[in-house]
C-alpha cells in the first residue's frame, strides 16, 4: 500500500464508453503460466482471446489448440501483436527480464496491460515503466493475485482498522521441500538471476507485497544472508539462490523478518507460507484469519470465515472491471513497482553483503 506522498495514476479511460461489443485480448507468452492465465481469460464474459504469441512452436501450437473456440491468430514476435489495432488488452507472461520492455511497448501501443509479476528486475527499468504507466490512460495491472484474495483483503482491512492496535512487526516465510525442476520448461531462464531477478524477485514478490500491504508502508532498509546453499552450481551455471533470510525496517517503523527456502524437509512442520502480524494489542495469523489477543481475558477468534478463492479468475476479472467499468485497480503501477523494488532491495542487500537503504537502491516510484 502506498503513502499519500506518492503520485497518483492518471485517470483511466474505460472501454465501457466505446461502442465495442467485445474486448479482444492477446496472450504474449503461453508457457505454463501464460496458458493457465489464458484459460481464465477465456472465461471472462465479453472477452475473446484473439491472438497468442510465443517463440517456442510447441507452446504456441498447444495454446492455439486450447483457445480454438476463440479462433486466435498466432504470432512469434510480440511486436506484431502490438501492431494489431483491433487488440484491446494484452497479457504478458514471459521471463522476468522481458517484462519492462514488453509492458512499455504495449502501453505505448495503446493497449491495456495485465503484466505477470514482477514488474521488473532492476530499479532503473522499473522507474522507466512507472513513468510510462503513469502517463498512460490505459489500465496497467500487475499479476500479484493476492491483492484480489477476498478473505485476505477482509483480514488486512481489520488490521488497518486497529484490531491488534499498532502494527509493530511481521514474520513471514515461503518454504518448499524441493527446488524447481532442473530440467523443466522454465529452467532455461529461472536459474539465471540476470533473467529471473533471482527467486526473491521472481517468486517472493507476492509474499513481500502482502507485507507492504499489511504495513501500509514501504521498506526503508534491508539486510540479509543467502545463497545456493543446497544446490550450488546445480544445474550447471546456476546463479540464483535456494535459501535466504532477510530483515527489513519500514518507513513507519514496522519490522519484518522473512525467509525463503527450497529445502524444508517433507513432513517437517512449518512448511508453506504464512504471515504473522504482531501489534500492541494482539497478533494475527493472516493465512488462517485468526486473531490472538494479548490480554488473558480475551479468547482467540476467527476474523473472517473461509471463502472459496479462485485467485486467477478473481484478479483477471478485476482487470477487466477496470477496463470496462473504471473500477478501482487492486494492483496498479504503484503496487507493482514497490513490490518488485522491495524484493530487489532484499536481493541487493544479500548480494552486496551490507545493510542497504531504499535511497541507495535508486528506487523511484
Per-residue pLDDT of the chain (365 residues; tens, 9 = 90+): 334 333 333 344 444 444 456 999 999 999 999 999 999 999 999 999 999 999 999 999 999 999 999 999 999 999 999 999 999 999 999 999 999 999 999 999 999 999 999 999 999 999 999 999 999 999 999 999 999 999 999 999 999 999 999 999 999 999 999 999 999 989 999 999 999 999 999 999 999 999 999 999 999 999 999 999 999 999 999 999 999 999 999 999 999 999 999 999 999 999 999 999 999 999 999 999 999 999 999 999 999 999 999 999 999 999 999 999 999 999 999 999 999 999 999 999 999 999 999 999 998 88
Q: CA–CA separation, 339 vs 119, rounded Å?
A: 8
Pick from 136, 145, 36, 33: which is nearest to 89 by CA? 136
Q: Where are the domains of the chain?
A: 15-146+312-332, 149-306+342-361
Cα distance between residue 358 and residue 66, in whole Å: 44
Q: Which three cell numbers stand for residue 169?
A: 512487526
Q: Measuring CA to CA, which residue among 185, 268, 254 is closest to residue 214?
A: 254
Handedness of CA 77, 82, 84, 87 (dihedral sign): positive
Q: CA triplet 301, 302, 306: central angle to 5 degrees?
A: 170
Question: CATH second-level architecture of 149-306+342-361?
Answer: 2-Layer Sandwich (3.30)
Domain 15-146+312-332 class? alpha beta
Amino acid at each position: 500500500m502506498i503513502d499519500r506522498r506518492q503520485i497518483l495514476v492518471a485517470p483511466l479511460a474505460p472501454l465501457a464508453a466505446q461502442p465495442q461489443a467485445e474486448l479482444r485480448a492477446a496472450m504474449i507468452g503461453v508457457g505454463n503460466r501464460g496458458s493457465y492465465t489464458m484459460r481464465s481469460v477465456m472465461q471472462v464474459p465479453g472477452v475473446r482471446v484473439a491472438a497468442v504469441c510465443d517463440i517456442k512452436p510447441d507452446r504456441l501450437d498447444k495454446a492455439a489448440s486450447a483457445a480454438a473456440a476463440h479462433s486466435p491468430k498466432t504470432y512469434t514476435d510480440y511486436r506484431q501483436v502490438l501492431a494489431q489495432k483491433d487488440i484491446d488488452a494484452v497479457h504478458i507472461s514471459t521471463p522476468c527480464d522481458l517484462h519492462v520492455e514488453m509492458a512499455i511497448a504495449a502501453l505505448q501501443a495503446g493497449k491495456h496491460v495485465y503484466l505477470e509479476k514482477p514488474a521488473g528486475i532492476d530499479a532503473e527499468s522499473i522507474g522507466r515503466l512507472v513513468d510510462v504507466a503513469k502517463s498512460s490512460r490505459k489500465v496497467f495491472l500487475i499479476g500479484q493475485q493476492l491483492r484480489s484474495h477476498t478473505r485476505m483483503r477482509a483480514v488486512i482491512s481489520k488490521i488497518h482498522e486497529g484490531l491488534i492496535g499498532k502494527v509493530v512487526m511481521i514474520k513471514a516465510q515461503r518454504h518448499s521441500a524441493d527446488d524447481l525442476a532442473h530440467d523443466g520448461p522454465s529452467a532455461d531462464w529461472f536459474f539465471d538471476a540476470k533473467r529471473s531477478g533471482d527467486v526473491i524477485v521472481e517468486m517472493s514478490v507476492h509474499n513481500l507485497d502482502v507485507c507492504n500491504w499489511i504495513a501500509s508502508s514501504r521498506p526503508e532498509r534491508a539486510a540479509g544472508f543467502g545463497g545456493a546453499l543446497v544446490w550450488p552450481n546445480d544445474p550447471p551455471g546456476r546463479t540464483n539462490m535456494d535459501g535466504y533470510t532477510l530483515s527489513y525496517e519500514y518507513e513507519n517503523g514496522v519490522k519484518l523478518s522473512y525467509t525463503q527456502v527450497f529445502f524444508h524437509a517433507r513432513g517437517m512442520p512449518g512448511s508453506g507460507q504464512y504471515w504473522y502480524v504482531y501489534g500492541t494489542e494482539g497478533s494475527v495469523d493472516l493465512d488462517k484469519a485468526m486473531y490472538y489477543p494479548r490480554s488473558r481475558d480475551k479468547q482467540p477468534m476467527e476474523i473472517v470465515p473461509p471463502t472459496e478463492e479462485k485467485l486467477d479468475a478473481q484478479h483477471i476479472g478485476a482487470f477487466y472491471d477496470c477496463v470496462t467499468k473504471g473500477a478501482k485497480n487492486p494492483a496498479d503501477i504503484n503496487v507493482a513497482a514497490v513490490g518488485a523494488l522491495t524484493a530487489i532491495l532484499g536481493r541487493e542487500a544479500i548480494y552486496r553483503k551490507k545493510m542497504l537503504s531504499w535511497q541507495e537502491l535508486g528506487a523511484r516510484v
